[in-house]
């Protein structure tokens, strides 16, 4: 794994997220009904280490993309803070313009992400020009990056987005993200709209670029196989909260949270003897306007105990490198599978 030894030293996380919350208020109707808030992201804490790829997985509506937009400050958080290399994002110490030069994002919709009136070359060169690079240098950088992502400038620089395929447009978006020479790239379902052969090419390109430029990735996807392939560590989200976070191989081999286990058991297998006979998870996620009390996963959990409906699980270390929010792993929680609270002599 490539480790970036930039500002702050290798021991300090590149990105630290503390108590991140995003609630979307709902309007009441003419009769005063409705209202309330959607708990899209509800108290998320995690770190991204320098040079790693942190994968983020979970069902649709779990808060993955909202978290990505909060990290980029594309929307105002309800609460919490984002710290980038020891400096609070949006403060006088780290203004948004400087932060966005160092952190870039690639979105899912490759066509909507590009201005249809700009050529490919101008789209990639636009960011550096906004940040003060002379046009000639910005165009030279754009052409170099287009070549690096497999789009020969002589053929593609003067084309417009509608003249490219989905995979080619996503390569343009990757080149545009790298044009400001960032230290971190957030990839929000960046390959989910591509067919499998093109997806594999783009994933290999992302792996090569990470090593070449010393990048750090936050890789958001619903495809568990892709996340396992790309990630050093994986964060599992459920209904706006972190269920589990830990090293990719360990998490996929032995999940600690029941929700993680259910997600992994839903992965299709090529082995006919390992066919899924019954659904690993029943029902839909609960309403984010009125989340369940206690553990949010307990209505769908096969290992739930009465205490799970009353007590909110604390984030605990299941192993020295694995964090999980489940009462089974919380000593003295009252769950039948939990270890008793150790008595202090």
* Distance from C-alpha of 201 to C-alpha of 310, rounded to nearest angstrom: 47
Concatenated DSSP letters of 70-125: HHTTSS--SEEEEEETTEEBTSSSB-HHHHHHHEEEE-S-TTTTS-TTS-HHHHHH
Whether 344 is covered by a domain: the verdict is: no
The label of the residue with tokens 């044009």 reads: 179
CATH number at residue 178: 3.40.50.300
Count of beta carbons in the 10 Å neighbourhood of residue 9: 10
Count of helix runs (H) and strand runs (E) in the chain: 10, 12
Give bridge partners of residue 84 from the DSSP assignment: 15, 87
Whether 64 is covered by a domain: the verdict is: yes
Task: Give the number of domains in the chain.
Answer: 1
* Distance from C-alpha of 318 to C-alpha of 330, rounded to nearest angstrom: 8
Burial of 11 (0-12, 13-18, 19+ CB in 10 A): exposed
Whether 135 is covered by a domain: the verdict is: yes
Distance of CA 250 to the CA centre of its chain: 19
User: Where in the sequence is the domain holding 53, given as residue range(s)?
Assistant: 15-24+37-231
Whether 58 is covered by a domain: the verdict is: yes
Whether 198 is covered by a domain: the verdict is: yes
Whether 245 is covered by a domain: the verdict is: no
Helix (H) / strand (E) element for 292: namely none
Answer whether 0.85 is exceeded by the pTM.
Answer: yes
Whether 185 is covered by a domain: the verdict is: yes
Per-residue pLDDT of the chain (345 residues; tens, 9 = 90+): 344 444 444 457 999 999 999 999 888 777 777 778 899 999 999 999 999 999 999 888 888 999 999 999 999 999 999 999 999 998 888 999 899 999 999 988 888 889 999 999 999 999 999 999 999 999 999 999 999 998 999 999 999 999 998 889 999 999 999 999 999 999 998 888 778 888 888 899 999 999 999 999 999 998 899 999 999 999 999 999 999 999 999 999 999 999 999 998 887 766 777 666 666 677 777 888 889 999 999 998 888 899 999 999 998 888 888 999 999 988 888 888 887 765 433
Whether 164 is covered by a domain: the verdict is: yes
């Amino acid at each position: 794994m490539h480790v970036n030894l930039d500002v702050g030293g290798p021991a300090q996380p590149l990105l630290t997220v503390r108590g991140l919350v995003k609630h979307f208020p709902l309007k009441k109707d003419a009769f005063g009904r409705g209202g309330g808030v959607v708990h899209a992201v509800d108290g998320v804490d995690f770190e991204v280490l320098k040079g790693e790829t942190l994968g983020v997985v979970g069902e649709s509506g779990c808060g993955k993309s909202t978290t990505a937009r909060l990290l980029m400050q594309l929307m105002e958080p309800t609460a919490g803070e984002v710290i980038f290399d020891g400096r609070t994002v949006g403060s006088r110490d780290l203004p948004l313009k400087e932060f966005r030069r160092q952190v870039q994002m690639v979105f899912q919709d490759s066509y909507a992400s590009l201005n249809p009136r700009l050529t490919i070359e101008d789209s990639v060169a636009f960011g550096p020009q906004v940040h003060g690079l002379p046009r000639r240098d910005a165009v030279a950088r754009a052409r170099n990056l287009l070549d690096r992502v497999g789009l020969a400038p002589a053929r593609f620089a003067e084309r417009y987005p509608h003249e490219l395929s989905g995979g080619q447009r996503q390569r343009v978006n990757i080149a545009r993200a790298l044009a400001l020479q960032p230290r971190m790239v957030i990839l929000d379902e960046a390959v989910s709209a591509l067919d499998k052969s093109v997806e594999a090419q783009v994933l290999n390109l992302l792996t090569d670029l990470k090593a070449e430029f010393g990048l750090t990735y936050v890789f958001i996807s619903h495809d568990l196989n892709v996340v396992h392939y790309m990630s050093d560590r994986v964060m599992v989200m459920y209904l706006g909260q972190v269920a589990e976070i830990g090293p990719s191989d360990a998490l996929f081999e032995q999940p600690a949270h029941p929700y993680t286990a259910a997600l992994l058991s839903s992965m299709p297998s090529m082995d006919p003897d390992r066919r899924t006979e019954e659904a690993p998870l029943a029902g839909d996620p609960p309403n984010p306007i009125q989340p369940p009390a206690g553990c949010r996963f307990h209505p769908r959990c096969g290992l739930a105990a009465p205490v799970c409906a009353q007590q909110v699980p604390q984030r605990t270390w299941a192993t020295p490198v694995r964090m999980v929010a489940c009462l089974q792993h919380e000593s003295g929680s009252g769950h039948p599978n939990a270890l008793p609270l150790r008595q202090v002599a």
